[in-house]
Amino acid sequence: MTEAEAWEAGRGVWKFKTDRALAQEVAQVVNAQGTVLAVATITGISKHGDRFALEGRLLVGDARVGRPTATPHRSRNSIAYF
């Protein structure tokens, strides 16, 4: 999966707290093993019925991609805030 494909798959459409998401500067798409697949700056949120998607600018080639996340996420919930 490319960084762009990971960002498209991970940015939404989900149920999440928009105010908490907008308080973050960067979004990371991380797989279940804790590896960063994509990093993007958050520029906004789009509404899709009762769900939302992050809007942002993909940071292609960011040094965090391919590395373990610095903030492991053990919850079953697909969205986390750090």
DSSP 57: E
Which pLDDT value is given to residue 71?
A: 76
pTM for the model: 0.84
Q: Is the pLDDT of residue 79 over 70?
A: no
Mean pLDDT of the 16-20 span: 91
Q: Indicate the SS3 state at residue 5.
A: helix
**What is the side-by-side order of every strand in the sheet holding 36-48?**
12-14, 51-58, 36-48, 26-30
pLDDT digits (tens, 9 = 90+) for 31-42: 878 889 999 999
Residue written as token pair 């053990």? 74
Q: Are 26 and 42 in contact (CB under 8 A)?
A: yes
Which pLDDT value is given to residue 81?
A: 58
Q: Is the pLDDT of residue 5 over 90?
A: yes
